[in-house]
């Protein structure tokens, strides 16, 4: 969460001129997104009406070659009434521009706030919105492999090494050593695939009361097993932040919201415990890697990898497999 690039008002005004949105009247660097710089921009048209946008400058963690996939996806989903921000194309029709060697895009501002103590009604709405995206993306022609799939977690966790994992928690190396090959060997590659968000944490959902006003930050979106996205979202929404407490009402609400729009097949439900272990491993891997590789005096505090080790252990208990079954 940072603004990495500093842009003066004159530069911002020149950037905005490339779009047919009026003139710049306000610009605030906002602390949002982990892989880019963002400004909340306000413009005014000759008639006096104002509009707000998010201007995103992509830093090194986003590959410019992936931008057409991410931005076309937003336009595709917005046209199908999914609650996602539209992209504003420039006067030449381009969805992103290059500025000083970096790509930038102008994206619709959406109202709403990110909840941190979701209610069952909110989890239900998020489940519905996720299913709406999966449904609306069926006729989206873009393709992108999951850069944070099994191979990536294995690599990150191997790079951590058993000693560093043991330093985080004495049992962590063993847990990872057991789960990693198990998830790999049982990966249900035959299940239906679609475009998935792959990172739908509460931070990436804007809400007003119980209504989803925006799903944002699609920069991990890719084509992968549809039910894996349900598993990621389940891991993200249905636990206390430290992973120590499973929240059954949120789980039931999320799954019922999702399946009201996109019914889950028996095969998908069967695979969900394993996919949830995979989702836990994925966030455990990036968090453990960041935990080990963040200098102790850095301004950013790395997130606790154990929060996902606890989820992984929870999903691995056979008695918890039933929570994904139809009720």
Q: Are 141 and 86 contacting, i.e. CB atoms less than 8 angstroms apart?
A: no
Phi, psi (deg, nearest 5) at residue 206: -95, 135
Q: Rule CB under 8 A: is residue 29 a binding residue for its own copies? A: yes
Task: Say which residue the tokens 């019914």 belong to.
Answer: 263
CB of 41 to its own copies, least distance (A): 10
Q: Are 252 and 120 contacting, i.e. CB atoms less than 8 angstroms apart?
A: yes
Q: What angle do CA 185, 190, 194 make, to 5 degrees?
A: 115
| CA 180 – CA 217 distance, rounded (Å) | 27
Nearer to its own copies, 112 or 142 (CB): 112
Both tokens assigned to 282: 């994925």
Q: Rule CB under 8 A: is residue 260 a binding residue for its own copies? A: no
Q: Rule CB under 8 A: is residue 28 a binding residue for its own copies? A: yes
CB of 40 to its own copies, least distance (A): 6
3-state class (DSSP) for residue 205: strand
- In sequence order, the β-bridge partners of residue 214 are 206
Considering only 13, 94, 164, 252, the residue that binds its own copies (CB under 8 A) is 13
Nearer to its own copies, 3 or 232 (CB): 3
Q: Rule CB under 8 A: is residue 8 a binding residue for its own copies? A: yes
Q: Are 167 and 304 contacting, i.e. CB atoms less than 8 angstroms apart?
A: no
Residues in contact with its own copies, shown as a per-residue x/- string from 41 to 70 under the rule CB under 8 A? -x----------------------------
Q: Rule CB under 8 A: is residue 297 a binding residue for its own copies? A: yes
17 CB-contact burial (10 Å; exposed 0-12 / middle 13-18 / buried 19+): middle
Nearer to its own copies, 115 or 275 (CB): 115
Nearer to its own copies, 26 or 265 (CB): 26
Q: Rule CB under 8 A: is residue 300 a binding residue for its own copies? A: yes
313 CB-contact burial (10 Å; exposed 0-12 / middle 13-18 / buried 19+): middle
Q: Rule CB under 8 A: is residue 5 a binding residue for its own copies? A: no
Residues in contact with its own copies, shown as a per-residue x/- string from 100 to 139 under the rule CB under 8 A? -----------xxxxxxx----------------------
Nearer to its own copies, 122 or 259 (CB): 122
Q: Which residues contact its own copies by CB under 8 A? A: 1-3, 8-13, 24-32, 40, 42, 111-117, 206-208, 295, 297-300
């Amino acid at each position: 969460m940072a603004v990495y690039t500093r842009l003066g008002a004159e530069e911002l005004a020149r950037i905005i001129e490339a779009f047919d949105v009026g003139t710049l009247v306000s610009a605030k660097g906002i602390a949002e997104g982990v892989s880019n710089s963002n400004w909340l921009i306000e413009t005014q048209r000759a008639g006096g009406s104002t509009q707000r946008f998010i201007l995103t400058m992509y830093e090194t963690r986003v590959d410019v070659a992936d931008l057409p996939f991410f931005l076309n996806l937003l336009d595709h989903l917005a046209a199908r009434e999914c609650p996602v921000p539209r992209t504003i194309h420039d006067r030449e029709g381009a969805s992103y521009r290059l500025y000083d060697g970096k790509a930038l895009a102008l994206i619709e501002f959406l109202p709403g706030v990110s909840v941190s103590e979701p209610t069952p009604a909110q989890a239900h709405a998020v489940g519905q919105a996720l299913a709406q995206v999966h449904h609306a993306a069926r006729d989206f022609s873009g393709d992108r492999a999951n850069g944070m799939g099994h191979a990536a977690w294995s690599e990150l966790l191997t790079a951590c090494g058993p000693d560093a994992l043991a330093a985080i928690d004495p049992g962590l190396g063993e847990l990872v050593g057991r789960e990693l090959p198990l998830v790999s060997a049982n990966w249900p590659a035959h299940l239906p695939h679609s475009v998935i968000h792959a990172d739908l944490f509460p931070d990436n959902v804007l809400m007003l009361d119980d209504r989803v006003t925006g799903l944002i930050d699609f920069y991990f979106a890719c084509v992968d097993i549809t039910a894996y996205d349900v598993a990621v979202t389940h891991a993200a929404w249905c636990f206390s932040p430290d992973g120590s407490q499973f929240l059954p009402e949120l789980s039931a609400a999320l799954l019922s919201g999702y399946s009201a729009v996109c019914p889950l097949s028996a095969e998908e439900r069967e695979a969900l415990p394993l996919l949830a272990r995979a989702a836990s491993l994925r966030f455990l891997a990036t968090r453990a890697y960041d935990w080990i590789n963040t200098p102790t005096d850095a301004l950013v505090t790395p997130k606790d990898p154990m929060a996902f080790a606890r989820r992984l252990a929870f999903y691995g208990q056979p008695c918890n497999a039933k929570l994904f079954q139809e009720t």
